[in-house]
Structure 1
């Protein structure tokens, strides 16, 4: 990766904060943004002009390559405020590594670690007041890169814009989910970009997810594109299955996102002595487990939702409801994760990253 040899992070502060206009008790996920944003341009082979400025619209050409060829990747991460007013990130280096992996797959220049953390931490310190205390409240952070060269030739862009925007949020999903197992559509394919957080991955999910919602389901559990035999992800999340007392999740591959929350759940389970099988699980095996009662839980994991509980799934027009259990792994991991994130418990893994 390259960067101009010497740079200064330029800062343009707002005149008046918009925070007084925000009803923090009634936030709609991802629709409210803090006072400032970060942007940095890639031109002439180097990242340059890193700037924090007031949040606002961009001006781009209609010929910008992102609009024609989809060269865009993003990340999702969060910042948490504890009761003493300190701000923490959760495993932020993993997010930077992943956005650079995603970028490389889409022929986008990687972004420098030093500048990323300087920009992100400065931005969080400037907009610290937007972070609310209380479990469930957080600042959702969206770093992303778009190709913005003024050209429509079918080739990688020579110019890019890296940005960070921040949104105050409360819980992403409420309640439990009913899901349908995909029999026709696929989230990703072998040799593709399923492992990357490419913008187009999510656009391709919207139509089959809408079809599921029309039938009363909130999400889709995706299966492999070759045979639709193997369970892979749930909606925009990694997915876990508990059969008896064993936790099963699909191995990462070029089809499956290497989720930060997924890795954290596996680490917590192993620490707690819970058996984890990282292996392919067939739909047939899942259905049989549901029928004989050995299927105890299904839950999704991801940055926005943390842990999402599934209370039933449909396959071939048959609905299988999951039992209500007291010793839920999902509830256990959600509490353990959030206690670490909100500085309510010890952090033996050193996942917390204090900003201020």
Structure 2
């Protein structure tokens, strides 16, 4: 796959270029100097708060090389898939995504509304032991609504025919890389890759992770806000479900005192999501999730994007349980949750 790392220009290091983007979008006055503050949390993009006389905005620019230990090159054109996903979902579940204010083809960057400090990051909440089952239920509900609204839609399928991009950003660094590390499980993992790549049913986000979900101010009726849809793809809904459920498992391994609450949250997410599944038999979708989930769990230990908060003893235990589940996957999510609860005292 072609990668244009050599042509990449970091607009955060070029205020004149950034100001030109903001001026063309009508957000900055000619000659105005933006105040730029780097925002943390991502490995795949440069994300900045930009303060101007007209207000505060969030600018995101795709990186050609991700900030991880193993080399991971990805096409910067994925930014346009994210913009399209945000706009599509804004029409399905308004209030659950930030509004896109403009884009710049040359720099592969776009501007969206800035959501201030009154919004909390769901990952930070969970790692601090603040496990809100209602938030998990809301996330499952929103994801189910998005999938149901886009299921088997030929226009959406054509707009998000990003198979090559999804393979490069998700399937290869997670499951294919894990198959390299664990050759004894390569047959099972690669069969899952092939099945996932061939299943095209709904608009997939591709990174439904707590780090990409903001929780609004107390009393806000809209519920969680989903971010970071660079992996957007018309494909297998099981991937989004398994990708999110994986974080409940990993955090239960990390936070044994909160493992029971995390398993309750996993169950709430699953029930809320599955209530929307009408485009295919629920059992068929759930069986694909149950196969994907342990592979993704193992990938967060031995793939290209290992989770950062597990200590080595925890990593070893997660690895052993995940390997057993990859070798003999159950057919339901509840079966995986029960096994996880037994192993991690939930």
* TM-score of the aligned structures, taking structure 2 as reference length: 0.31
More strand by share: 1
* TM-score of the aligned structures, taking structure 1 as reference length: 0.30
Structure (1 or 2) with the larger CA radius of gyration: 1
More helix by share: 2
